[in-house]
Every structure is written in C-alpha cells, then in structure tokens.
Amino acid sequence: MSSLKNIFSSRPERGDKFYRALKKILSFKPGNISIYEEAFTHRSMNNTSDNGTPQNYERLEFLGDAMLGSVIAAHLFKKVPDGNEGYLTKMRSKVVSREHLNELGRDLNLIKLVKTNIPTKQFGENIHGNVFEALVGAIYLDKGYRGCEKFIHRRVIKPYVDIQKLEGKIISYKSLFIEWCQKNKKNFKFNVYEDTGNDPLKHFAVKLQLEQNTVAKARGTSKKKAEERAAKRAYYKLQRKMQVQDG
C-alpha cells in the first residue's frame, strides 16, 4: 500500500535538491511540485504535456504578472486612501516595473533553478523577472489567492514597497527626457545603430542628440535598453538645468 502511495505522490523526497531550494525561497512547503518545475523550465527544453501543450514558464509568467498587479493594487488602495486613479496606476507601475522584477528575481537567485538547454550567460536581464512572475503564478495555482498574497507581501511589499521612496522613483528616464524636451520646445533625436563589438550577444549603440549636441552615448542588448541608458545619462548630466526649467 505504501509503495502505491509513493508512486502516485507528486511530492518528492525530502532530500530532493530542487524541493529544498524551493522551500527555502517560498518559506512554506510546496504542494504540487510539478507546477513549480514548469515555472523553472525554459522553452529551450522543448517539454510538452501528453496532449502536446508546451510546458515552460511562459504561461505561468502571464498569470504571475496578473497576480502581482492585483495584490499590489489592493495594497496601494488601502495604504493611500487619498490617491487618485492616476497616482495609484503610476505607483503600481513602479513596483511591477521590469527593472524591479529583475531585481527581485536576482535577489532570490532564481536563475540557479532554471532548466535550460541554453547557457544562462546568454540570457538577457529579463530572465530574472520572467521567472519571478512564473513563480508567483505557480504559487497561485498551488496555494490559491491567499497563499499568493502572503508570498507577495513577504517577498515584495514588506522589503521593497516604501511609498515615499516610490513617489520619487523614476520609471523611465526616456519618457522623462522626452517630456522635458517637448515642454521646453527642444529638438532631440535618438540615433541608434547596431554595435559591431565582440560581445557574444548582439548590442546596439545610441547617441542622444539635444539640439545640435550629443549629450549622451550608451550601449544595450536591445534598442530600448540602449535608449533608456542614454536618456538616464543625459538626465544626470542635465539634471540641474532640467529641474530649474521645470520649476
């Protein structure tokens, strides 16, 4: 009878490396371990279910993104009773920004548990945030909304969500720079071109021009990243001027 129980149990042995690492991250005992295994499986593994459905973290990532947005929205709604819709939306965006989710995934070192046929060095930064979202999705399926909410409060809200700090946090330097240029009727241009460096990953370089001058240069693994970095450098270079003119 006990052998039959072992065959049909989805829970691994206590000594299982993945189970132990997962339990430490979650701070509770995972139930259906197969859901979590899917949350840490990259599409390069080409895993499929019996009916041919791909089994990797991408669908769970979608679910986790929705759960994070929901729990964070509810928290902000309670914490900032006088915040209007625009304010609450902006604050939620700061908490669930790609940059912040990547930071959360890195802090938990989730990449060490990812099963992949591609060397992890070849992944961009977003792998950290993607897997974090997938993990949140898996927790929801395993423990329901309440269990998912507890995890987000412990791992996201308590250590990272400081309302005053968030109010001053800039989500996109590019948006800020463009806004400032438009407000002050200044001409600008992001000149992006493919970088022919020796990096294993393709890089893009950008020169940010303000009027006739190049005010910043940057590189990134995507055009979007290169532009954001250039805008950030331009912001810090022109910060005093931008603040004076805005004032």
pLDDT of the residue at 137: 98
Which of 143, 124, 115 lies closest to 37, judged by CA? 115
pLDDT of the residue at 114: 93
Strand partners, 206: 192, 218
pLDDT of the residue at 5: 40
Which residue has better confidence, 71 or 184?
71
CATH of 6-167, one of 2.40.37.10, 3.90.380.10, 1.10.1520.10, 3.40.50.150: 1.10.1520.10
* pLDDT band at residue 195 using 50, 70 and 90 as cut-offs: confident
Tell whether the torsion through CA atoms of 191, 178, 162 and 62 is positive or negative: negative
CA 157 remoteness from chain centre: 15
Q: Domain extents for the chain?
A: 6-167, 173-246
Catalytic residue among 37, 61, 65, 142: 65
Q: Number of H helices and number of E strands within the chain? A: 11, 3
Say yes or no: do domains 6-167 and 173-246 share a fold: no
For 24-50, write each residue's pLDDT tens digit. 999 999 999 999 999 999 988 888 888
Give me the mean pLDDT over the 71-86 stretch: 92
Which residue has better confidence, 28 or 245?
28
Is residue 133 flagged as an active site residue? yes
Is residue 65 flagged as an active site residue? yes
Overall residue count recorded for the chain in this entry: 247
Percentage, residues of the chain above pLDDT 90: 45
For residue 3, pLDDT beyond 50 = no
Q: Specify the fold of 173-246.
A: Double Stranded RNA Binding Domain (3.30.160)
For 118-136, write each residue's pLDDT tens digit. 888 888 889 999 999 999 9
Catalytic residue among 61, 133, 142, 228: 133
Alpha-carbon gap, residue 179 to 192, rounded angstroms: 20
**Whole-model pTM?**
0.67
For residue 10, pLDDT beyond 80 = no
For residue 159, pLDDT beyond 70 = yes
For residue 190, pLDDT beyond 90 = yes
* Cα Dmax for the chain: 81
Give me the mean pLDDT over the 147-156 stretch: 95
